[in-house]
C-alpha cells in the first residue's frame, strides 16, 4: 500500500510523462531535414518510453483505488508546431534537463526501498538516458551510436 505522499508523487510522475514535450512533439509534427529521419526515431523512442511509464504507474496507482489525472499539455507548447527539429532540439534539451531535475527532487522525497522510490529511480534512469541521447544528437546532428 502506498502512502498519501507516494500516491501524490506517482500522480505527478504520470502527469509529467503524459504531458511531456516529447509527447507533444509527436502531435506537433516537427520538420526534419531530408536524411535525418533517425532523429524522428529518437524522438518517437523517448515518447514511447514515456507512454510506457505512464501505463505502468497508472496501473499501480489505480490498483490502490486511487484516481489519476493525466493533465494537459502546457500552453507554451502550442508555439512549437511545425518548427524544425534542429531548432527545437536546444529547447528540448533544456526541457529534458529540467525534467530530470524534477524527477530527482521527487525521488529524494521518498523513502529508500519502497516501490514508489524504485519507480521514480527507474524514471530518472530512463530520463537521463533520453537526455544523453538527445545531447548526442545535438553534438553530432545525427543519431546516437549506442
**pLDDT tens, residue by residue, 34-67:** 888 789 999 999 999 999 999 999 999 999 999 9
DSSP state of 143: -
Q: Which residues contact residue 113 at a Cβ distance below 8 angstroms, ignoring those fewer than 6 apart?
A: none
Tell me what pLDDT residue 145 has: 44
Structure confidence at residue 141 (pLDDT) = 59
Residue-level pLDDT at 36: 80
The pTM is what? Answer: 0.91
- Neighbour tally for 26: CB within 10 Å: 17
- CB-based contacts of 54: which residues, under 8 Å, 6+ apart? 14, 17, 18, 70
Res 37: pLDDT: 79
Beta pairing partners, 84: 31
Residues (pLDDT < 50) of the chain are 143-146
Q: Report how far residue 22's alpha carbon sits from residue 24's, in angstroms, rounded to the nearest whole number.
A: 5
Give the per-residue pLDDT at 144.
Answer: 47
Per the CB < 8 A criterion, the answer to whether 2 and 58 are in contact is no
Amino acid at each position: 500500500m502506498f502512502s498519501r505522499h507516494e500516491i501524490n508523487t506517482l500522480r505527478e510522475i504520470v502527469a509529467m510523462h503524459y504531458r511531456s514535450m516529447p509527447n507533444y512533439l509527436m502531435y506537433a509534427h516537427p520538420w526534419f531535414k531530408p536524411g535525418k529521419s533517425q532523429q524522428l526515431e529518437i524522438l518517437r523512442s523517448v515518447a514511447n518510453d514515456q507512454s510506457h511509464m505512464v501505463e505502468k504507474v497508472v496501473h499501480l496507482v489505480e490498483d490502490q483505488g486511487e484516481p489519476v489525472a493525466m493533465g494537459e499539455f502546457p500552453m507554451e507548447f502550442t508555439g512549437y508546431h511545425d518548427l524544425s527539429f534542429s531548432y527545437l532540439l536546444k529547447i528540448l534539451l533544456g526541457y529534458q534537463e529540467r525534467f530530470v531535475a524534477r524527477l530527482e527532487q521527487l525521488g529524494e522525497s521518498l523513502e529508500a526501498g519502497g516501490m514508489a522510490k524504485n519507480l521514480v529511480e527507474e524514471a530518472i534512469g530512463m530520463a537521463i538516458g533520453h537526455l544523453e541521447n538527445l545531447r548526442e544528437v545535438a553534438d553530432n546532428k545525427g543519431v546516437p551510436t549506442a
